[in-house]
Amino acid sequence: MNSLPKAASTCDRKRLLLLTPPLLQTNTPYPATMHLTGFLRARGIDVQQRDLSIKVVRDILLAYGDETTDELLEFLGGPAPLEEKRAASEVIDDLARGIRDGVDSEFGFSRYAEHLCQAVEDFGELERRVRRRGILDAPLERHLKAAMDEAKPDLVGVTCPFPGTLVGAFKIARYVKRRYPGVRLLLGGGYVSTELREMTDTRPLRYFDRFLFDEGYAPMLREAAGLADGAPVDVPPFVAPCYDGIDWDDYFDVVETDNYVTNLWNSGKWVKLVMARGCYWHRCAFCDVRLPYIGCFQMPEATAVADTLEAFARQGLRRFHFVDEAMPPALVRAVCDEILRRGLEVEWWGNVRFDAAFTPALAKKMARAGCICVTGGLECANDRLLALMNKGITLASAEKVLRAFQAAEVFVHAYLMYDFPTETKAEQRAAERYVKDLAKKGLIQSCFWHRFALTVHSPIAREPEKFGIVIEKAKRRRVFARNELAFAYAAAGGTD
């Protein structure tokens, strides 16, 4: 299963270096390069990985901090309870704010120039930021040179998952192109897959030789193994990540609130896993369901997931975050059975749909198997809108699931949405009251409201008239990034 096609001889294979650019979360590694490394090494590829993001942010904080900064970062990376880390986090947060206000206005703890890159249609604007030297450059170039000189790669793959990593990714490419001619550069990741699919601007090709969309497993293997484009590649439903080259001691928590659930994103060293590829529902009207990484649903055997949990547990890593679009209830049940059968002592959380299949019995089994929290979308918290967006739940059915998790003492974080097409102000106010009532009942412990964004790959973009909107035409001929679409209401006056 893990062997290369016969067409790829050993001499065709290339040395590969996978890089995570700045800036991303500081408490745990972003998982893209780890999954690619695990997949490629199992197929005989010489691949190394480096997280440049955590190296750069530590260097910046140490350069502008005082004699206590190193000690504070070590403390925040240690095992102290979160409540004890709150004061130290505030000191580091103040330092980061001072750097942003006094040194580089684009600097943020887990993002750089994000406000620019969230809607960067003109590549020229981005290129000016990439060429301009700033706070990232010196530490980024230092760690990048060390990685390049050690790995001596023929190929460099860079992941760009979010807007806040875009400037860093192109700075990496600019440096490598200048200092290491002949090295082929590839850019992939979530931002690339959603924002750059309609790119017609050729200027980015000065930096990267190829842009990889959706899952990088197959195209990266073809590049590294010297296979032809389109050569068949078997990608299993579950990929075990490899963390070689990652120094867990570099990572540190930033505790911003007393809310335990909210802190899960910013604290703790979590091994991030994908339980199943794609989304088992893939019908929500607001989601990018047209993209293969959403629609390619495959569910592995539970033993494959449990084997990986067990392998990491033997290394002393027992905390896991499943970053699926939505964990399938049937697979969750089977994985829990394996955890309990093997007697694994693990702690985990992940994303779900508030599917009726999460019964009280399953919620209790999840808790016994180490589940501490689930995150899921209540979206607009309105039955009319849930039906319109094809969410597949109602408030009543979702509340039954919430009660099941409450009884099992599994915490819940709810994702919510406002300004969905046709939503009225009265419906928004009713949703706010409903969510507050859920919190008072202890049915959710944390939530976050997101503004609705119309994306080009969503069902709404295909049938805007069904949602009472008209999509505005793109103004630029030479397109760099295009994902969020501007729209207007078909009827004068909008919704209210």
**Pick from 395, 444, 447, 394: nearest CA to 417:** 447
**Pick from 347, 285, 296: nearest CA to 324:** 296
At 273, list the tokens: 């896993």
Residues ≥6 apart with Cβ < 8 Å to 230: none
Q: What is the pLDDT of residues 124-162, one digit of tens each?
A: 999 999 999 999 999 999 999 999 999 999 999 999 999
User: How much is the pLDDT for 310?
Assistant: 98
User: How much is the pLDDT for 194?
Assistant: 93
DSSP state of 186: E
Q: For residue 268, what are the CA distances in angstroms to 10, 13, 44, 110? A: 40, 37, 32, 15
Residue 332 has φ and ψ, to the nearest 5°, of -55, -45
Q: What is the pLDDT of residues 360-394, one digit of tens each?
A: 999 999 999 999 999 999 999 999 999 999 999 99
Separation CA 175–CA 165 (nearest Å): 16
Q: Are 275 and 309 within 8 A, CB to CB?
A: no
User: How much is the pLDDT for 6?
Assistant: 47
The secondary structure of the chain in percent helix, strand, coil, rounded to multiples of 5, reads 40, 15, 45
Angle, in degrees to the nearest 10, between helices 166-179 and 52-64: 100
Q: What is the pLDDT of residues 203-253, one digit of tens each?
A: 999 999 999 999 999 999 999 999 999 999 999 999 999 999 999 999 999
Q: For residue 323, what are the CA distances in angstroms to 265, 270, 290, 320, 354? A: 11, 11, 20, 9, 16
- Position with higher pLDDT, 56 vs 13: 56
- Using only C-alpha atoms, the chain has a radius of gyration, in whole angstroms, of 23
Please give the distance of CA 210 from its chain centroid, rounded to a whole number: 21
- How many Cβ atoms are within 10 Å of 443's Cβ, its own excluded? 18
% of the chain surpassing 70 pLDDT: 94
Q: Are 306 and 267 within 8 A, CB to CB?
A: no
Residue 1 has pLDDT above 50, yes or no: no
User: How much is the pLDDT for 122?
Assistant: 85
Write down the mean pLDDT value for the chain: 93
Residue 115 has pLDDT above 70, yes or no: no
Q: Are 449 and 418 within 8 A, CB to CB?
A: yes
Q: What is the pLDDT of residues 426-435, one digit of tens each?
A: 999 999 999 9
The answer, yes or no, to whether the previous bond of 23 is cis (omega within 30 of 0) is yes
Separation CA 342–CA 208 (nearest Å): 46
- Provide the residue type at 383 as one letter: D
Q: What is the pLDDT of residues 440-456, one digit of tens each?
A: 999 999 999 999 999 99
Beta strands, E only, 163-240? 184-188, 210-211
